[in-house]
Amino acid sequence: CFIKNRLPRRTTMFKNVFGSGFLVRTAHVILTWVVTLILFLYNTDLRKQEETGQLIQPVVFVFLVLVSVLLYFAVSLMDPGFILSDDSNLQFTLGVTEEQQDMIPPSTKSLRQRRCGHCLLQQPMRSKHCQACQHCVRRYDHHCPWIENCVGERNHRWFVLYLAVQLLVLLWGMHIAWTGLSHAHSWHLWLRTNGVLLAVAVLLALLSLIVLLLLCSHLYLISLNITTWEFMSRHRISYLKHCGADENPFDRGTLQNLWSFFCLWGTVVWEQVYFREDSDQV
């Protein structure tokens, strides 16, 4: 039931770097490299290895930091799946023939083509209008203020990859900061000596916890093939109201859900997946 094709490119792949969210992105990048610089300036294992010519770990750490920054810009600037034009023949262009459409019988799962009340475009199933971005987004998950962009069909897997790399960098950075803490004869002297590294370690620990919770929650929802929006607002979503409390019409099993999310690219006709049980009976 997963019919995939690439939609016509009606938009550029990435948004303007200097558009909305420029200050947030700039603050993120500055904070990232300031913390990295501090880890090199203080007497941490990272600096000791650099001074002794053991460059493998310092180079790998800087490389991971760079990858995390690049992934951050990718997910924050990438088109998450904006719907910018009304296509009444979308089902046919994505592989649903007229004959297949006629095979979908009317049932308790009634399908209504909705028009967005804001941009007045026809919304495919699992899409939602984002008030912050002022666009409807395919397979909308949520709007993330951290990246100042929506997480949707096109950038969701990149967002999860970014969280994984960012978590690795944060945990490693926290360990490096811990190795730089030195002993002192009094608490006052210890705080003066280690205050900056201690603040960095606390900041990294807090961010690590946030990113860990985000990553775990996204992986859990992905394994169920449900979005954050659907999970939080199930009672308000028309195509889920007819389903039982524990019923998910998009669930194909944990392994299949993970495989489809990470390994299959393109656009899914969620209407066809939604009606697969009824279609199989015809």
Q: What pairs with residue 142 in β-bridges?
A: 151
Cα distance between residue 38 and residue 44, in whole Å: 9
Q: Does the active-site annotation cover 216?
A: no
Choose the catalytic residue: 1, 119, 136, 144.
144
Phi-psi region of 139 (alpha: psi -120 to 50; beta: other; left: phi over 0): left
Closest by alpha carbon to 238, among 229, 246, 268? 229
276-281's contacts with Cβ under 8 Å and 24+ in sequence apart are 276/1, 277/249, 278/104, 278/105, 278/107, 278/109, 279/1, 279/100, 279/103, 279/104
Query: How large is the angle between the packed helices 254-263 and 156-179, nearest 10 degrees?
Result: 90
Q: What pairs with residue 144 in β-bridges?
A: 149
* Residue 65 tokens, joined: 């930091």
Positions marked catalytic? 144
